A and B are shown apart, each in its own frame.
Chain A
Amino acid sequence: MDDDRIAAEDWHGVSPKYLWVDLVGRLIPWIVLAVVLLLVQLAKGGWWWLGLAAVLVIAVLIAVFTPARVHSIRYRLRDDDLVFRRGIMWRRVVAVPYGRMQLIDITRGPIARTLGLAELKFVTAAAATGVIIPGLPEAEAEGLRDRLVALAESRRAGL
């Protein structure tokens, strides 16, 4: 998978608004940790602020890399299969034949719902497939689902 070549093909990205969903989802645990450390520091004093600083650095790093991470999530509908890729440090590209589709899940998390986004999950008999396309505008997610179901129906294969 030469990455340049992949980028040149007709890939679909996810909505830029998904950046906020991803950011909030990833930062919440670190913010909680930072608050706890801050409270401990205020109550007891000592060297707790070092931990607090480390947590804040990690949170900033996560925030800085979020746009690239969201940008890396792409999918492409080929003639017979769906290709999905994501990741900047640990990259993976998965190809799933349409005929292997068992069902398609659309889920809407609380943050995504307020932004009108949905997450589409392509379920096969293999749990490892793990094709989850987040951050699709709801209409697009439903359109994609209908299209994938129709494609899978025309290429139905036994388990």
Chain B
Amino acid sequence: MSDGPAVDPSGAPPPPLPPLLSAPPTDTGWHRLHPATPLFRGGIILIVVLGFVAAQLRDSIVQLVAGGVIGQELPPDPQDPFDRWILEHAAIALAIVAALIVVVLLFGWLSWRMHEYRITDEIVEEREGVIARKHRRARLDRIQGVDVVRPLLPRIFGAARLDISVAGNDGNIRLAYLGSAQADRMKSDLLLAAGRARLAHQPPPPPPVAPDPTTAFAPVSPAPDRLAPAPPPPGALIAPAPGAAGAVLGAGGVLDRRIQEFTAPELDDALAAPGSVVHMHPARLIGATFLDAVPIFIVLAVFIAGIEVAARSPIVLVTIIPVLIGLGSQLWRRVSRSLRYSIAATPAGIRIGFGLLSTTNETLPPGRIHAVEVSQPLLWRPFGWWRIRINRASTSARNGAEGQRSTTILPVGDVDDVARVVGLILPGLDVSGLLQGSTAEATPAFTTSPRRGAWFRWFSWRRNGFAHGGEAVLLRKGQLWRSLTLVPLARVQSVEIASGPLYRAARLRRVAVHTVHGVVRPRLGALDVADAERMWRETESATILAMEVAP
């Protein structure tokens, strides 16, 4: 641990391309996962099964053991053929159970033995499987993000999962589970190595270049010297040296370390940055989550009332209870997930922390955010709350609901929070004035729908518009559900202009900016023909320009 990157306080130029940092993955050989992995993976299921079996056979077991010892003959239940069989063939039954346990343990141990990973300068590689072997490898320069995830059970035992997401569908590598500190260390190593690999695969940019629009995050520049551990930014909280965690380890022993990890899981990161730019207020989070669910409650209430009136019986109330429980637990999950939210800029990208009991800690490398949407549900408006969602290049087919988890990077925040988070993604763009207020005052100025656009955008035609600014194209939409969509020009894939018969009759067009698939769909309808053409042309040429400045 103490052999990690030394932060040079004198500001002398750090070595240009340091070798892979810190302990385990330094050598490029194969490594195994945390030894307790099979327990974490199958542990809960095993416990549940054992518990179920124990509960079912409690009487029989008590009788088997106690009956023989005490010599007291409890009457066997002749009604139950299973009980009878157990009583008659106790030895066989015990042998079967023992054999099952041995097989399960053996299989768990074998699968742990056969599950290995390695990290070289070029790739991350994983191989697993006892009977059918599976082999995955990911090139470091294709890494889209590295998450450290700590589900509750492994977290108690000081283990964590490392999710490495790679561009493309289901190209992800999941190392479950690693030691908690090791996972954090590997995350920073991987992100640094990924940055180096990206550099190695592209020609070095000419030195005096305009600000690079692909690397949309201020702290990182593509110059190699900056990829080495950077000196702490001025005025920032100085990151705890990697040795600090080691000292605690020695002094307090395992328990102390565990408690420390549990209460402050982020302190161990060698790349720890200035504190979170957003502080989540619990009351605001709970209020926002609840308000978000109000429409569902209303629909549900109307539905129930309708059926009650129609059926004239309260029978539906009983069936609705599971639905309510499901809804409640869903809301609680959302609240508990976001309670310890943090977002900060690090040299390796934007780091987002989530979770109260199970924590997720992920880092988005620069330029991996393809579209940003700041939106406001109707009921949030009196409070001035907004949320931010993003599109990113990696989607995981492995886990449906979990794959979507990382689309929301700000669950709820006020205008200032939004401006700070967007500032991390697109530096030099101040959105605080763009979210509300009239179009005339906004800078950059928005081009909005013409008067006749009101036929298609009844309430929002005055708001419905686009602008270019801060290396991005901005779309502002919606009067009831307000939103502002930002697409970094360097990430635009293609631009479309389209129309149907009605639009043509009204001399209107729709423009869509295509990005990687995700929750954000940047498209804008009901624009005047000339404005739409201008947006289409300008966005396309600006995209091409952004690509030429930096690939």
A interface residue numbers (CB < 8 A to B): 1-2, 80-81, 87, 89-97, 99-100, 124-129, 131, 155-159
Contacts and interface: CB of A to CB of B under 8 A. Distances in A.
B533 interface: yes
Most buried by B among A2, A89, A99, A159: A159
Contacts of B551: 99, 156-158
14 contacts: A1-B529, A1-B533, A91-B498, A92-B496, A94-B496, A99-B544, A126-B515, A126-B516, A127-B517, A128-B496, A129-B494, A131-B494, A158-B214, A158-B551
Contacts of B498: 87, 90-93
A96 B551 CA distance: 15
Given A95-B495, A99-B547, A155-B547, A89 B514 contact: no
A17 to B, nearest CB: 27
Most buried by B among A92, A156, A157: A157
A97 B393 contact: no
B500 to A, nearest CB: 5
Contacts of B544: 80-81, 97, 99
B499 A91 contact: yes
Interface in B451-503: 493-501
B167 A159 contact: yes
Given A1-B532, A92-B498, A126-B514, 8 more contacts: A2-B529, A93-B497, A94-B494, A96-B494, A99-B544, A100-B494, A100-B547, A159-B167
Interface string B57-99: 0000000000000000000000000000000000000000000
Q: Which secondary structure characterizes the binding site on chain B?
A: mixed
Nearest to A125: B516
B530 to A, nearest CB: 9
Nearest to A90: B500
Given A95-B540, A99-B551, A155-B547, A125 B499 contact: no
A1 B497 contact: yes
A1 B367 CA distance: 31
A2 B167 CA distance: 38
Contact of B547 (A91, A93, A128, A157): A157
A124 B202 CA distance: 20
B493 A126 contact: yes
A124 B512 CA distance: 15
B509 A124 contact: no
B543 interface: yes
B290 interface: no
Q: Which 8 A-B pairs have the closest CB atoms?
A: A126-B493, A126-B514, A92-B498, A96-B494, A129-B494, A124-B493, A128-B514, A80-B544
Contacts of B367: 158
Given A124-B494, A128-B517, A158-B214, A89 B501 contact: yes
B522 to A, nearest CB: 10
A1 B537 CA distance: 10
B393 A159 contact: yes
A125 B509 contact: no
A156 B393 CA distance: 17
A97 B521 CA distance: 19
A159 B547 CA distance: 11
Contacts of B543: 97
A156 B547 CA distance: 9
A131 B543 CA distance: 18
A95 B202 contact: no
Nearest to A122: B494
Nearest to B541: A80
Given A81-B540, A156-B551, A158-B214, A129 B497 contact: no
B536 interface: yes
Contacts of B493: 96, 100, 124-126, 129
A97 B515 CA distance: 13
A97 B489 CA distance: 12
Given A155-B547, A157-B547, A1 B167 contact: no
Contacts of A125: 167, 393, 493, 515-516
Nearest to A100: B493
A126 B498 CA distance: 17
Contacts of A128: 494, 496, 512, 514, 517, 521
A23 B71 CA distance: 89
Contacts of B504: 91
A39 B477 CA distance: 52
A91 B543 CA distance: 23
A90 B500 CA distance: 4
Interface string B136-163: 0000001000000000000000000000
B547 A97 contact: yes
A86 to B, nearest CB: 10
Contacts of A129: 493-494, 496, 514
Given A91-B499, A128-B514, A158-B202, A1 B494 contact: no
A98 B198 CA distance: 21
A120 to B, nearest CB: 15
A51 B514 CA distance: 41
A100 B214 CA distance: 14
A129 to B, nearest CB: 4
Contact of B496 (A89, A93, A156, A159): A93
Nearest to B501: A89
Contact of B494 (A2, A80, A89, A97): A97
Contacts of A97: 494, 540, 543-544, 547
A92 B504 CA distance: 12
A154 to B, nearest CB: 11
A98 B497 CA distance: 18
A100 B546 CA distance: 12
Interface string B363-405: 0000100000000000000000000000001000000000000
B544 to A, nearest CB: 4
B466 to A, nearest CB: 16
Contacts of B533: 1-2
A14 B533 CA distance: 25
Most buried by B among A1, A89, A100, A126: A126
B35 to A, nearest CB: 37
Interface in B7-48: none
